[in-house]
A and B are shown apart, each in its own frame.
Chain A
Amino acid sequence: MFGSEKSKSPSRRWKGSSESRLEELDRISQLPDPLICNILSHLPTKDAVKTSVCSARWRSLWLWVPCLELSSQSFSDFKAFMSFGDRFFDSNRVSCINKVKLDIYEDGADLKSWIDATIKRKIQHLHVRCTPCTDYEMPSSLYNCETLVSLKLHEVRVSLVDFRFVSLPCVKTMHLKYIRYGNEANLEASFKRLVSCCPVLEELKIFAYEWMSRRAQVYRVVSRSLKKLRIKLEEDFETLGLGFVIDAPLLSCLSIKDSLSENFIINNMDSIAKVDLYGIFGLDDFGEASVVTSRGSRIRGFLLGISKVRDMTICRCTFKLICQYSRFQPLPQFGYMSHLFVTLRVSDLKSLPTFLESCPKLKSLILVWDGNSKKMHSDGDDLHNPIIHFASVPECLLSSLEFVDIKTCISGHAPEMKVVEYFLKNSAILMKITLRLNYYDCANEKSFFKILMAIPRRSATCEVVVL
Chain B
Amino acid sequence: AFVENIPEIYILSLLFFSPHFLYLLISVSVLTMDPIPGLSKLTVSSSKKIVLNCSDGKSFEIDEAVARKSKLIADMIESGCDGPIPLQNVTGKTLEKVIEYCKRHVVEFGPSDEDDEEAAEKLAIWDAEFIKVDEETIFHLILAANYLNIEGLLSLTCKTVADYIKDKTPEEVRQIFGIENDYTPEEEEAVRKENVWAFDPNQ
Contact = CB atoms under 8 A, between A and B. Distances in A.
Contacts of A49: 195, 198
B165 interface: yes
Given A3-B163, A10-B172, A35-B142, A52 B195 contact: yes
Given A1-B132, A28-B161, A39-B158, A50 B139 contact: no
Contact of B142 (A14, A17, A31, A55): A31
B76 interface: no
A42 B155 CA distance: 9
A190 to B, nearest CB: 32
B169 to A, nearest CB: 7
A2 B188 contact: no
Contact of B165 (A39, A52, A80): A39
Given A13-B176, A52-B194, A55-B183, A47 B158 contact: no
B170 A54 contact: yes
Nearest to B202: A76
Given A42-B159, A54-B170, A55-B183, A27 B139 contact: yes
A58 interface: yes
A29 B158 contact: no
A84 interface: yes
- Size bracket of the A interface: 35 or more
Contact of B132 (A2, A41, A43, A81): A2
A25 B174 contact: no
Interface string B176-203: 1111111100011001101111111001
Q: Interface majority SS on A: helix, strand, loop or mixed? A: loop
A50 B146 CA distance: 25
A384 interface: no
Interface in B15-74: none
B172 A17 contact: no
Nearest to A1: B132
B134 A42 contact: no
Interface string A34-73: 0100111111101101111111101100000000000001
Given A39-B162, A84-B195, A55 B135 contact: no
Contacts of A30: 139
B136 A16 contact: yes
Given A53-B183, A84-B195, A26 B154 contact: no
A320 B179 CA distance: 63
A42 B177 contact: no
A58 B182 CA distance: 10
Nearest to B203: A74
Contact of A51 (B170, B181, B194): B170
A209 interface: no
Given A54-B170, A59-B191, A75 B197 contact: yes
Contacts, number: 135
Interface string B140-164: 0011001000000011001111111
Given A35-B146, A51-B170, A53-B183, A27 B165 contact: no
Contacts of B134: 14-17
Nearest to A24: B178
A56 B164 CA distance: 20
B142 A53 contact: no
Given A14-B135, A17-B135, A38-B154, A47 B200 contact: no
Given A42-B159, A50-B199, A74-B197, A10 B175 contact: yes
Interface string B106-123: 000000000000000000
A39 B180 contact: no
A84 B197 contact: yes
B124 interface: no
A225 B178 CA distance: 51
A372 interface: no
Contact of A52 (B166, B167, B191): B191
A80 B203 CA distance: 14
Contacts of A74: 197, 203
A76 B200 contact: yes
A26 B194 contact: no
What 6 pairs across the A-B complex have the smallest Cβ distances?
A: A16-B134, A42-B162, A53-B170, A49-B198, A14-B135, A24-B178
12 contacts: A8-B172, A27-B136, A27-B177, A28-B161, A39-B142, A46-B198, A46-B203, A51-B165, A54-B179, A55-B174, A59-B191, A84-B197
Interface of B: 128, 131-136, 139, 142-143, 146, 154-155, 158-183, 187-188, 191-192, 194-200, 203
